[in-house]
Amino acid sequence: MVEGPRLDTNSPQAVEDAPIGPRKRNGSPAKRQRPAIEPGKKDKLGRAAKKERNSPPWVAELRSWVLTLAIAVLIVFGMHVFVFNLSTVKGQSMEPTLYESEWLFINKFAFLTGSPSIGDVVILKDPAEGEGRKEFLVKRIVGLPGDTIEIREGQLYRNGQLVVESYTDTEIEDLDYGPDKINADHYFVMGDNRHAKASRDSRSFHAVPRSSIIGRADLIIWPIARLNHL
């Protein structure tokens, strides 16, 4: 067996010949280079940045106010469409509960998550109007889907039972009605004013579909002296 020369690591020569510093790894990845920016594009970016720095302070403040106002308008519009609305009373069909020119807070969200109930004061599309018209009525729900409504001798009966209506100030002065069974997903509405020919309601256009009911009137908000929950 042939032995080669031995390297004594304790000798000065061995220390002197040893490589100094970290070893280089073979095949190490090359450094990534940033993508070059075209001269024309670089000039445009430089001019835009310079223009931004040279703009007076009021421009940035105005931009901030415009952005804030736009966001606020979008929020209010969304709430107006899906959450609430304000409506003005016209006519006398809901007296003595509501009077001409009173302002109502209309809760639209209530019927997005639930269904109308007996006694609710609601805003609905006028069934007598065409598709292009947007007239609305304010009435009270007195009959639910499946109920049988009858008006006899000035009194309202629901499913054969006399309905005591504390919100009216007189008996029903119009002609008798029914009995009429309400279809599925329909509601029978009447005005609180029970004097003769004072209210155009389900006695003339029958029960209204659920889709025509816009929202529930929860509050009288104007005038302040009439502020009240309905």
Return contacts of 6-10, CB within 8 angstroms, 24+ apart. none
Two structure tokens written together for 103: 């302002």
Report pLDDT for 85. 82
The residue from 87, 125, 139, 199 that is catalytic is 139
- Supply the pLDDT for residue 201: 95
- CA–CA separation, 174 and 96 (whole Å): 17
Task: State yes or no: is 93 an active-site residue.
Answer: yes
Cα–Cα distance for residue pair 53/35, rounded to 1 Å: 26
Predicted confidence at residue 113, as pLDDT, reads 83
Which residue ranges of the chain lie beneath pLDDT 50? 1-22, 37
Task: Please give the structure tokens belonging to residue 196.
Answer: 């003769």
Q: Residue 18's pLDDT is what? A: 42
Q: Going by C-beta distance under 8 Å and a sequence separation of 6 or more, which residues neighbour residue 171?
A: 154, 155, 194
pLDDT at 49: 54
Percent of the chain's residues with pLDDT above 90: 50
Q: What pLDDT, on a 0 to 100 scale, did the predictor assign at position 23? A: 52
pLDDT of residue 46: 56
104: phi then psi, degrees, rounded to nearest 5 = -115, 145
Average pLDDT, rounded, for the chain: 79
Tokens standing for 66?
């415009």
Catalytically annotated residue among 31, 42, 93, 211: 93
pTM: 0.67
Known catalytic residue: 202? no
Q: What is the pLDDT of residue 57?
A: 78
